[in-house]
A and B are shown apart, each in its own frame.
Chain A
């Protein structure tokens, strides 16, 4: 069929004609030799660039398939593996000792009370989200007695988990801050650079992880941030650095604070693991509170995905600590203008659960107990893995497993070793050598120890 017939084909209104034309398009050249040049080209090579001026055919025919997300792609690969021995140490979602996802009891209780309350409606939240949730979230991270909160200098808006908070904060800075460069530690969560680029900022990097010590490259960090232009934004992981699990000591945090303040660098904290790292909410907020205490400004992205197990509900908050209440008010009004064209207002359910828990002393206490239990289980897995490798005499220093903190261990294994472990032992992890400790339990830990031992000794 030639072009003219194809056009007629498209505009036909009868069902059978339409179905036939769809069939013809799918069968391509094999059905009708004379339309080879157009339909087979379009069908077989979706990379052909068709301008919108083409008489027919999708304007998006030139769109190429995007690669799998490096982190979420691990779970995709894991799901495809038929082996009963497979272990998923990819994405950072908590698993119980039985390898199951966990909904906290306190969350179930909160949800039930929401469902059972007939006066609850599902109306739009304000653009800035649930007001009570915002206040409680600020208190959680900054401390109830924080001077910034007392003085009304904090603008807090509910956002979609950590990702959403980072994106909204980034877009706000791109619109209203005088510097576009944001300094990001190396390595960092894979999504960070994309979030900030899409927000309109310019990702730069600063040294963070030292592969030779599997610890913090403090010297490199200081050098790089000292060389950053004044006023640059600096992304800081509040605790439990992802992917390395390497955190500065309190003394190092104080030095970082002084460095940033003396060069007027703007801190942008990402807190995805408060309470999850050490088991203590206050301890895990130490770095943030240090900065707030000096009276300076900062941005804070908070997530409840891990510490309340609310992953898919997308609950988080962006706080901007400002010099004055007046500035905080204006900042909040501008944050609305970023949010409205993105999704209008944030989702209700997760934030309602969080507010229900945080406002009730009993539920809050219960939460801290469950949170500590999750953190403790991970800490014990660290110890067990370390012990297992010691017992096997696996070559190398594995003390970083118990020195690193939070959900992840940066094993130090390279790409080839990781591929080997996946192939031979069905261990699924990201190719940078990061393992999610949350995916370990006493049943699969021996297998991981075997896999690491084999990878290190044979490769």
Chain B
């Protein structure tokens, strides 16, 4: 390790006090060589936004939903669930695998209410720390049980995907996904890459509302991808962070997964309730792996638990209780479905308005992709330099890859935003 050499030659600072007995040796820090880490590209945007005093500032950086007044939202169904939970239950440790009630409800959402796989107990599933935690557990599991395997990750993807598989020490490859010219899917290159990957490769797929591009394969394209996966015997791992949030209909948003299941794939799936239930900070999610049979599912689940134990012992109870309370109560579930549709509809409306505004301003460019893309994000196609201009001249904050979080767009700021985008791109 390089640090060893650095330690012995560095004395970052001499202490000014007189050392007492037993402190003689350590004059300088053991951690003096530690480099300051680069800021997280996504979360760093919000930090910069908060520090900006301008009254015109707009935050279209991090993917957290805002209402039309630009305010964060706690869903009514969540508030009601919390009222029911508070003071009524103890805070004992959950089992290592998490809340079985929450897991049951999560699986129904992803695999279908009447899924045979659930009935046949073929799904190994554990509660996880939102989508990140689910992906990390899977990556660790992949490393432990298939140590020679690699993961294929789409280009582009959520930046943290790379960090997760890297820290799990699983080698990474990429596959073509986004087509910059059309601002849509590069389907032929994607299929080429799937074909050229060695048989039995592991692929990370965004189930719906691809982050950061908002570009999803069509249903027909998903079928073709699934068929090709079948002949290559690839392992499909779905990251589903936006079920319900993309189209407004959770069943519709799970279509890709259902196609793969119908085709007989044994999938893995990471589910997050951060966005679709607005439970961001509660870290509520689920990791599931579809197995051949019940016995294998029991074995796999037990091993997933073995990976969770040395990381956090057992997952947090509060978010799990909210999820199971809502999904387990028909009235609350109905309310949730309405609220999630409301969020999705507002975003779809803002996409339309933003595009119309840009077209009205007489922009020479095509902005079709704003309404073609789906989910929380729009991959605008702007360059880092154009983004910098938006920030420096217009106090508009977004990630430098040109990704706009549509959740941050409101009727109040859409005009300002359209104008600024037009100014830097005309």
Known A261-B22, A320-B31; judge A65-B302 contact (CB<8 A).
yes
B312 partner, pick from A93, A295, A314, beta carbons under 8 A: A314
Choose, from B10-18, B182-190, B339-347, B358-366, the stretch at the interface: B10-18
A61→B31 contact, CB < 8 A = no
- Among A54, A66, A111, A195, contact of B86 (Cβ-Cβ < 8 Å): A111
CB distance from A322 to the nearest CB of B (A): 6
Question: In the complex the two chains form, is A333's CB within 8 Å of B263's CB?
Answer: no
Give the residue of A191, A199, A331, A338 whose beta carbon is less than 8 angstroms from that of B309.
Answer: A191
- Complex CA–CA separation, A331 to B39 (angstroms): 13
CB-CB under 8 A from A320, the residues of chain B are 31
CB <8 Å contact, B13 and A323: yes
B105 at the interface (CB under 8 A from A): no
The answer to whether B312 and A59 have CB atoms under 8 Å apart is no
Q: Which residues of B contact A312 (CB under 8 A)?
A: 91-94, 314, 316-318
Max chain B Cβ within 10 angstroms of own Cβ: one of A18, A25, A197, A312 = A312
Would you give the shortest CB distance from B42 to chain A, in whole angstroms?
Answer: 10
What B residues does A161 contact at CB under 8 A? 312-313
Whether the Cβ atoms of A63 and B90 lie closer than 8 Å is: no
- List of B residues within 8 angstroms of A18 by Cβ: 116, 262, 264
Q: Are B29 and A121 in contact (CB under 8 A)?
A: no
A198 to B313, CA, bound (A): 13
**A46 and B91 contact, Cβ closer than 8 Å, known pairs A323-B15, A330-B36:** no
Q: Which residues of chain A come closer than 8 Å to B91, judged between CB atoms? A: 101, 103, 107, 309-313
User: Is A220 an interface position by the 8 A CB rule?
Assistant: no
Give Cα A305–Cα B316 distance, bound, in whole angstroms: 11
A18 to B117, CA, bound (A): 11
B235 touches A52 (CB 8 A): yes
Nearest A residue to B5 via CB reads A178
Within 8 A of B (CB), among A323-373: 323-324, 327, 329-331, 333-334, 336-338, 340-350
Report yes or no: B34 in contact with A327, Cβ–Cβ below 8 A: yes
Known: A65-B298, A69-B309, A336-B37. A108 touches B22 (CB 8 A): no
What string of 1s and 0s marks CB contacts (under 8 Å) between A296-320 and chain B? 1100000001000111111000001
B269 CB to nearest chain A CB (Å): 14
- Say whether B29 contacts A25, CB under 8 Å: no
A344 cross-chain contacts in B, Cβ below 8 A? 129-130, 132-133, 160, 283
The answer to whether A123 touches B312 (Cβ under 8 A) is no
- Compute how far the CA of A331 lies from the CA of B31 in the bound complex, rounded to whole angstroms: 7
Task: Choose among A122, A191, A314 the residue that contacts B279 (Cβ–Cβ < 8 A).
Answer: A122
Complex: how many Å from CA A314 to CA B168?
Answer: 23
A167 at the interface (CB under 8 A from B): yes
Q: Is A391 an interface residue (CB 8 A)?
A: no
CB pair B293–A25 under 8 Å, yes or no, is yes
Whether the pair A59, B303 counts as a contact (CB closer than 8 A) is no
Chain A's closest residue to B114 (CB) is: A15
Cβ of A74 under 8 Å from chain B? no
- State whether A345 touches B281 (Cβ < 8 A): yes
Given A10-B264, A314-B316, A341-B136, A176 and B31 contact (CB-CB distance below 8 Å): yes
A-B contacts, CB under 8 A, total: 314
Interface size class of B (residues with CB under 8 A): 35 or more
* 7 CB < 8 A contacts A-B: A53-B200, A55-B233, A60-B296, A107-B91, A108-B87, A297-B31, A323-B12
Cα distance A6–B170 in the bound complex, in angstroms: 32
Contact partner, A297, options B30, B74, B116, B263, Cβ 8 Å: B30
Query: How far, in angstroms, from A60 to B301 measured CA to CA in the complex?
Result: 11
* B278 at interface by CB-CB < 8 Å: yes
Cβ of B37 to closest chain A Cβ, rounded Å: 4
Report whether B264 and A11 are in contact in the complex, using a CB–CB cutoff of 8 Å. yes
Check A122 against B74 for contact (C-beta < 8 Å): yes
The B74-97 residues at the A interface (CB cut-off 8 A) are 74, 78-79, 82-83, 86-87, 90-96
Please, which residues of chain A bring their CB within 8 A of the CB of B316? 160, 312-314, 347, 349-350
| Closest A residue by C-beta to B169 | A200
**A93 vs B313: C-alpha distance in the bound complex, in angstroms?**
14
Interface positions of A (Cβ within 8 A of B): 9-13, 18-19, 22, 25-26, 42-43, 46, 51-66, 69, 72, 91, 93, 101-103, 107-108, 111-112, 115, 120-127, 160-161, 163-164, 167, 176-178, 191, 194-195, 197-199, 231, 257-264, 266, 294-297, 305, 309-314, 320, 322-324, 327, 329-331, 333-334, 336-338, 340-350
Q: Which residue of A lies closest to B230 (CB)?
A: A11
Cα A330 to Cα B30 with chains together (Å) = 12
Known A-B contacts A59-B235, A62-B145, A345-B281; the reply to A177 vs B30 at CB < 8 A is yes
Cβ of A122 and Cβ of B282 under 8 Å apart?
yes
CB contacts (< 8 Å) of A103 on chain B: these are 87, 90-91
**Contact present for A314 and B315 (CB under 8 Å):** yes
Q: Which residues of A contact B146 (CB under 8 A)?
A: 52, 59-60
**Complex: chain A residue closest to B94, CB-CB:** A312
Q: Which of B95, B120, B264 contacts A72 (CB 8 A)?
A: B95
Residues of B within 8 A of A43 (CB): 292-293, 295
B 175-223 contacts with A by CB, 8 A: 199-200
Complex contacts, A124 vs chain B, CB 8 Å: 62, 64, 274, 280-281
| A93 and B74 contact, CB distance less than 8 A | no
Q: Which of B24, B29, B295 contacts A324 (CB 8 A)?
A: B29
- Give the residues in chain A near B311, CB-CB below 8 Å: 160, 163-164, 167, 195, 198, 342
Nearest chain-B residue to A308 (Cβ)? Answer: B91
Please tell me if the beta carbons of A261 and B25 are within 8 angstroms of each other in the complex: yes
> Is the pair A311, B282 in contact by a Cβ cutoff of 8 Å?
no
Instruction: Enumerate chain A residues within 8 angstroms of B51, measured Cβ to Cβ.
Output: none
Indicate whether B40 reaches chain A with its CB closer than 8 angstroms. Answer: yes
- The answer, yes or no, to whether B306 is at the interface (CB within 8 Å) is yes
Q: Is the CB of B283 within 8 A of A330?
A: no
Measured CB to CB, the nearest residue on chain A to B235 is: A59
Name A66's contact: one of B26, B78, B282, B306 (CB within 8 Å): B306
- Asked if A178 contacts B303 (CB within 8 A), the reply is no
What's the least CB distance linking B80 to chain A, in Å? Answer: 11
Contact between chains at A122 and B296 (CB < 8 Å): no
Partner of A333, one of B36, B160, B312, B314: B36
CB of B7 within 8 A of chain A? yes
What per-residue 1/0 map shows which CB atoms of B270-301 lie under 8 Å from chain A? 00001000111111000001011101101110
A194 contacts B12, C-beta separation under 8 Å: no
B163 part of interface (Cβ distance < 8 Å): yes
Closest-CB distance, B339 to chain A (whole angstroms): 14
Task: Give min CB distance, A178 to chain B, whole Å.
Answer: 5
